[in-house]
C-alpha cells in the first residue's frame, strides 16, 4: 500500500480551520479542545440530545468518544451520528474501554452500524470491538498493537471503516492495505487522553477533507512527531503535556514530512 501524501496536510488543515464537533468524555474534554486549537482546528463540545441534531451538520467532522459514557450521552451519540450520515459529514469512533462492560460494547456495536469513517482504539479495544477477545480491563491496553493488526483488518472489512490501532507502533488499515506509523514516545502513555487526542486529530484531518486512510495516517503521524519533539524538551509527564501542545502548534509540513515514519506493513 502506498503511503498517502502528507506533504501539505498541516497547511491544508490550517487553511480549512475545520469546526470539529466532539461528543467526548469529561476527563479529556479540555486537552482535546486544546490539541485541536493548537493544530489549527476549531473545536466544539456540544452534548445535549436536544441540540446535537441541529449542531452536527454545521461541523466539518464529528468525534464520538465513549470514555465517560452515560445513557443521555448515548442518546446524543445516536442523534449526532444520524445527523452526520444524513449531512454527509465524516465521523470517527473512539471505543474507549469497550471490552470492559456490556454497556460500552452494546453502544459501540450500535454506533458501528452507522458506518464511522474511522475507528481508533488501542489493541485491547480493537480486539474487543472485533469480537476476538472477551473482556478487557480498564482504559490502558493489555495487548501490544501487533496483536490486533489482523483483527483491525477484519473489522475494517466488515464495517467499511478505516481502523487505526495505536500503540508503540500504530497501524492503519482499510481492510486491504495496512500502514505502520512508527512515531511517538513512551511518555504518551503517562498522560491521560493521548489516545483521545489522536482520535480528535484524525477528526480534524477528516474535517479538512482528507479521506479516512490519509486522515488517520496524518493524525497519528502528527501526534507521534509532536511527541518526539516534546520529549526533547521534557522528561516527565507534566512538562511533557505542555511541550506536546506547544509542538502541535509549531509543527509544520516540512518537519512532519521529514520526521514521519510511515511504511507499508
- CA-to-CA distance for 69 and 117, rounded, in angstroms? 21
Please name which of 45, 46, 43, 41 lies closest in space to residue 18, comparing C-alpha atoms: 41
Interactions with a copy of itself, residue window 148-207 (CB under 8 A): 189-193
| Residue 111 to residues 84, 159, 164, Cα–Cα distance (Å) | 12, 11, 17
Return the residue matching grid coordinates 508503540: 168
Q: Can you tell me which of 5, 8, 15, 26 binds a copy of itself, judged by CB under 8 A?
A: 26
CB of 210 to a copy of itself, least distance (A): 20
Instruction: Compute how many residues bind a copy of itself; rule: CB under 8 A.
Output: 59
If one asks whether residue 137 binds a copy of itself (CB under 8 A), the answer comes out as yes
The interface region with a copy of itself, picked from 26-34, 125-133, 201-209, 254-262 by CB under 8 A, is 26-34
Which one, of 69, 68, 66, lies nearest residue 116 by Cα?
A: 66
153-183 burial, b at 16+ Cβ within 10 Å, e below that, comes to: bbbbeebebbbbbbbebbbbbbbeebbbbeb
Q: Determine, following the binding rule CB under 8 A, whether residue 15 of this chain makes contact with a copy of itself.
A: no
- By C-alpha distance, which of 165, 187, 170 is closest to 94? 165
Q: Which is nearer to a copy of itself, 45 or 182 (CB)?
A: 45
- Contact segment (CB under 8 A) with a copy of itself among 68-76, 84-92, 108-116, 176-184 equals 68-76
Q: Rounded distance, CA 60 to CA 21, Å? A: 8
The answer to whether residue 120 forms part of the interface with a copy of itself (CB under 8 A) is: no
Residue number with CB closer to a copy of itself (4 or 99): 99
Nearer to a copy of itself, 54 or 86 (CB): 54
Q: Which three cell numbers stand for residue 142?
A: 493489555
**Residue number, 15 or 48, with CB nearest to a copy of itself:** 48
DSSP 3: P
Enumerate the known binding-site residues for ATP: 120, 166
Which residues of the chain form contacts with a copy of itself (CB under 8 A)? 19, 25-31, 33-34, 37-38, 42-48, 50-51, 54-55, 58-59, 67-72, 97, 100-104, 137-140, 189-193, 236-239, 241-247, 249-250
Amino acid at each position: 500500500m502506498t503511503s498517502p501524501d502528507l506533504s501539505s496536510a498541516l497547511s491544508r488543515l490550517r487553511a480549512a480551520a475545520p469546526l470539529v464537533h466532539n461528543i467526548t468524555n469529561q476527563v479529556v474534554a479540555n486537552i482535546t479542545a486544546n490539541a485541536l486549537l493548537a493544530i489549527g482546528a476549531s473545536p466544539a463540545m456540544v452534548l445535549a440530545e436536544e441540540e446535537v441534531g441541529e449542531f452536527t451538520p454545521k461541523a466539518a467532522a464529528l468525534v464520538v468518544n465513549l470514555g465517560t459514557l452515560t445513557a443521555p450521552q448515548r442518546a446524543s451519540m445516536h442523534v449526532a451520528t444520524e445527523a452526520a450520515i444524513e449531512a454527509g459529514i465524516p465521523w470517527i469512533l473512539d471505543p474507549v474501554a469497550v471490552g470492559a462492560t456490556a454497556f460500552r460494547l452494546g453502544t459501540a456495536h450500535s454506533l458501528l452500524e452507522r458506518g464511522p469513517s474511522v475507528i481508533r482504539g488501542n489493541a485491547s479495544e480493537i480486539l474487543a470491538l472485533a469480537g476476538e477477545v472477551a473482556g478487557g480491563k480498564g482504559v490502558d491496553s493489555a495487548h501490544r498493537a501487533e496483536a490486533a493488526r489482523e483483527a483491525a483488518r477484519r473489522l475494517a472489512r466488515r464495517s467499511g471503516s478505516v481502523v487505526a490501532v495505536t500503540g508503540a507502533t500504530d497501524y492503519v488499515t482499510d481492510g486491504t492495505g495496512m500502514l505502520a506509523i512508527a512515531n511517538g514516545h513512551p511518555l504518551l502513555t503517562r498522560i491521560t487522553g493521548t489516545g483521545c487526542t489522536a482520535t480528535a486529530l484524525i477528526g480534524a484531518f477528516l474535517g479538512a477533507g482528507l479521506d479516512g486512510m490519509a486522515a488517520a495516517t496524518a493524525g497519528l503521524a502528527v501526534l507521534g512527531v509532536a511527541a518526539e519533539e516534546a520529549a526533547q524538551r521534557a522528561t516527565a509527564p507534566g512538562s511533557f503535556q505542555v511541550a506536546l501542545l506547544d509542538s502541535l502548534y509549531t509543527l509544520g509540513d516540512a518537519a512532519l514530512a521529514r520526521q514521519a515514519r510511515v511504511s507499508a506493513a
